[in-house]
Amino acid sequence: MKVYPPEKIRNVALVGHSGAGKTTLAEALLFRAGTISRLGRIEDGNTVTDFDPEEHERGMSLSLALAPFEWHDHKINVIDTPGAPDFIADVYAALHVADLAVFVVSAVDGIEVGTERAWRVAEEFGVPRMVFINKLDKEQASFDRTLDQLRDRFGAGIAPIELPIGEEASFHGVADLFTDKAYVYDSGAAQEAEIPDDLEAREHEVHDNLVEGIVVADDELLERYLEGDIPAAAELEKMMAIGVADATVFPVVCGSATGPIAVDRLATFIVEIGPSPLRRKTMSVMAGGSEVEIDLRSDGDPLIQVFKTIADPYVGQISLFRVLSGRLNPEQTLNNQRSGSDEKLSKIAVMVGKESEAVDYLPMGDLGAVAKLNDTGTGDTLSVKSQPVKAPPIMKPTPVLATAVKAKTQADTDKLANALRRIQQEDPVLVVERNAETKQTLMRGMGETHLTITLQRLNRKFGVEVDTEAVRVPYRETISRPAQAEGKYKKQSGGHGQFGVAMLKVEPAQRGEGFEFVDEIKGGSIPRQFIPAVEQGIVETMADGGTVGFPVVDVRVRCYDGKYHSVDSSEMSFKMAGRLGFKAAMADAGPIILEPISKIEVSVPASYQGDVMGDLSSRRGQVQGTDAAPGGRQLITALVPTSEIISYAMDLRSLTQGWGTFTAEHDHYQELPSHLTDKVVAEAKEDN
């Protein structure tokens, strides 16, 4: 593929709800450009950007993929993104490097949750946006209904620049509001024509509204317009391009990806009014521990950032990157600003789906790929050593659902750790951690589908099979009243024996205080050198678990007396005395179970507020308050037992039709209600 200068590059992310037609649109763009000769999505389901077996099996995108093509002496780097909420992390990554987001919206289904969530992310990132209303040739399609929804959700910046000619089965072309010309696709390719009579009046009205909306942003144009001088189409497009780059105007075009109808015009608009990488003139970076502003230049030393890592079992690690500044040549050695290690980029390439094509160099703003970097992951910045700067990190969502995993066989155990490390390189939103309390390996992701796909990829890519089990809740134990006991350890087996006695008093501490050991020994009843051993024995016993087996917390222990033997006493004997004394005292101190309480924040449309609050109450939750949030949403804050929200990600999605989102974090521990104690004790015995 030919290398283009930055001003002739367009980096475009296709985003929107699952099923809106993003992957089909990517195929149609490649087809119209002549990059591919067939529409795989329509013919047999095999597409350029959906190439993983899991994507073929489910018929949906699960990862972002690149699909560059040439159009009107420009290069358009299309980033096809998944629409399912479980894979929104790839939307974050795509929007981090894209200069334009094209929102693909179904004219049948309208604005769905995936579209709105992606819009909020693009808005937060300040990414320019335009909309492609798709599926106008399908039954129950409506351009007007969809346009009204866009204006209602996303404001006055929504600006149609095309109108459909016909709808549903009769849809066969579009009217260009810049040129007052029609383009029909009755023979496959676009044919210029006059505006149909039944559309002429409306087209002129919308055209006038469009022109007025554009000229008011420029005093000179407005003055000319008021004097009767209507700006030419090229002037109007130039002005709109400024509004698009500023993310204040959001053009709306329309068509059918399966037709494909008006897809070629989308490519043309991307070239004509879409911003180039030169829009990013400067960047705030970290240098020497401080944030500084640097110029992004097409000449000079290269600066690149990895935005996606692909773990290929045959090729190895493939890193997708954007050239932030400078020019990148093959055989260059750059320094990873996170790890400090040098990375040699022997060959650089562009990716078209899963296929790579080597290039001579990549200019500023282009997207590329490199294989087999040793110590570089998603989000890492590579630069020359003389320019040690770190680009802003790629934002990512917080995982909301966990499952416990364990290797199926010993052979799987030997491979599991490495496989999990590599799968995390590919999917940085995935979190794998070992919970020492519950003795489980937890895998946290964005939802059930995300975790299921991850397990399938572990097996397919790395040959590792795992079993899953329910996540155990990290309960704790404490005591409810004071008690005392004697811990006596005596053992005689020839030669020196073991002897130690520790007299202990236990009492409840304030919730959250943890453990306190008080030395009240007087008169040397326990020699000073053995008292730390008593404390150590108590600490180890608390960690091993109380009467049920959960770690013990919030206890104060006083060691007030004891006995020793001048020959047989040792640190070991007093450590054992501490263990035995604490166990005996705790059994008589009214042991109780504490359960973890999470602070949860739920964001939902106002229409779901009552249902969500009622559901939280049914989970023994205590609503702390509600606040209005942007977009007509409500933010509900509550304290809920952690055991009640293990599967909340799936439950909230079902309750709110996917519109609800939440975050949760541990807040504190409190006493488990007595009516639940027997159940928790029974489960603990079963696990042990």
For residue 435, is pLDDT > 80?
A: yes
User: What integer is the mean pLDDT of 269-289?
Assistant: 93
What confidence tier does 515 reach under pLDDT thresholds 50, 70, 90?
Answer: very high
Residue ranges of the chain that CATH labels 2.40.30.10: 287-383
Superfamily of domain 401-469, CATH level 4 = Elongation Factor G (Translational Gtpase), domain 3 (3.30.70.870)
In 255-289, which ranges are E strands?
282-287
Tokens 């040739």 belong to 137
pLDDT in tens, 323-349: 999 999 999 999 999 989 999 998 999
Distance, CA of 131 to CA of 121 (rounded, Å): 15
β-pairing, 332-336 vs 342-345, is antiparallel
CB-based contacts of 614, cutoff 8 Å, min separation 6: none
CB of 572 within 8 A of CB of 469? no
For residue 494, is pLDDT > 70?
A: no
Residue 217: its pLDDT value, please? 76
CB of 164 within 8 A of CB of 265? no
Least Cα distance to 258 among 24, 70, 439 occurs for: 24
Q: What is the DSSP string of 1-50?
A: -----GGGEEEEEEE-STTSSHHHHHHHHHHHHTS-SS-HHHHTS--SS-
Distance, CA of 120 to CA of 124 (rounded, Å): 6
| Max Cα–Cα distance, the chain, nearest Å | 115
651 burial type by CB count under 10 A (0-12 exposed, 13-18 middle, 19+ buried): middle
| Per-residue DSSP letter, 627 | E
CATH 3.30.420.40 matches 6-278? no
Residue 52: its pLDDT value, please? 86
Residue ranges of the chain that CATH labels 3.30.70.870: 401-469
> Could you tell me the sign of the dihedral formed by the alpha carbons of 81, 85, 90, 91, in that order?
positive
CB atoms within 10 A of CB 148: 13
- Neighbouring-strand partners of residue 234: none
The amino acid at 459? N
CB-based contacts of 122, cutoff 8 Å, min separation 6: 15, 95, 101, 129
CB of 183 within 8 A of CB of 193? yes
For residue 322, is pLDDT > 90?
A: yes
Residue 630: its pLDDT value, please? 82
CB of 252 within 8 A of CB of 150? yes
Residue 225: its pLDDT value, please? 80
- Neighbouring-strand partners of residue 595: 670
The CATH architecture annotation of domain 594-687 reads 2-Layer Sandwich (3.30)
CB of 138 within 8 A of CB of 144? no
Least Cα distance to 48 among 28, 32, 33 occurs for: 28
User: What integer is the mean pLDDT of 277-303?
Assistant: 91
- Write out the H or E segment, with its range, that includes residue 655: helix 648-655
Distances (CA, A) of 470 to 88, 435, 477, 478, 518: 25, 13, 21, 25, 39
Dihedrals phi, psi of 281, to nearest 5 degrees: -90, -30
User: What integer is the mean pLDDT of 514-526?
Assistant: 94
For residue 619, is pLDDT > 80?
A: yes
Distance, CA of 167 to CA of 137 (rounded, Å): 6
Residue 187: its pLDDT value, please? 85
What confidence tier does 492 reach under pLDDT thresholds 50, 70, 90?
Answer: confident
Residue 688: its pLDDT value, please? 65
Residue 244: its pLDDT value, please? 96
Q: CATH: 2.40.30.10, 3.90.870.20, 2.40.50.100, 3.20.20.70. Which one for 287-383?
A: 2.40.30.10
| R_g of the chain, CA atoms, integer Å | 32
Dihedrals phi, psi of 136, to nearest 5 degrees: -70, -10
CB of 433 within 8 A of CB of 444? yes
Residue 316: its pLDDT value, please? 79
What is the pTM for the complete model shown? 0.90
Distances (CA, A) of 480 to 33, 519, 557: 75, 22, 13
How much of the chain, in percent, has pLDDT values that exceed 90? 80
pLDDT in tens, 164-190: 999 999 999 999 999 999 999 998 889
Dihedrals phi, psi of 330, to nearest 5 degrees: -65, 160
Residue ranges of the chain that CATH labels 3.30.70.240: 594-687
Find the DSSP H helices in 112-196. 113-125, 143-154
Residue ranges of the chain that CATH labels 3.40.50.300: 6-278
Q: For the sheet containing 162-165, what is the strand order? A: 162-165, 173-176, 181-187, 189-193
| Per-residue DSSP letter, 328 | B
pLDDT in tens, 632-669: 899 999 999 999 999 999 999 999 999 999 999 999 99
pLDDT in tens, 55-86: 888 888 999 999 999 999 999 999 999 999 99
Helix 143-154 with 113-125: angle, nearest 10 deg:
40
User: What integer is the mean pLDDT of 530-550?
Assistant: 94
User: What integer is the mean pLDDT of 130-139?
Assistant: 97
3-class DSSP assignment, residue 326: coil
The amino acid at 143? F
For residue 44, is pLDDT > 70?
A: no
For residue 37, is pLDDT > 80?
A: yes
> Cis (ω within 30 of 0) for the bond into 260?
yes
CB-based contacts of 252, cutoff 8 Å, min separation 6: 130, 131, 133, 147, 150, 158, 159, 160, 161, 162
3-class DSSP assignment, residue 233: helix
Helix 571-587 with 531-544: angle, nearest 10 deg:
50
CB of 222 within 8 A of CB of 239? no
CB of 596 within 8 A of CB of 474? yes
CB atoms within 10 A of CB 310: 20
Distance, CA of 379 to CA of 283 (rounded, Å): 15
Q: CATH: 3.30.230.10, 3.30.420.40, 3.30.43.10, 3.40.50.970. Which one for 476-589?
A: 3.30.230.10
What confidence tier does 631 reach under pLDDT thresholds 50, 70, 90?
Answer: confident
What confidence tier does 289 reach under pLDDT thresholds 50, 70, 90?
Answer: confident
Residue 45: its pLDDT value, please? 64
Find the DSSP H helices in 507-639. 531-544, 571-587, 609-618
| Per-residue DSSP letter, 348 | -
Query: What does pLDDT average to over the chain?
Result: 93
User: What integer is the mean pLDDT of 117-121?
Assistant: 95
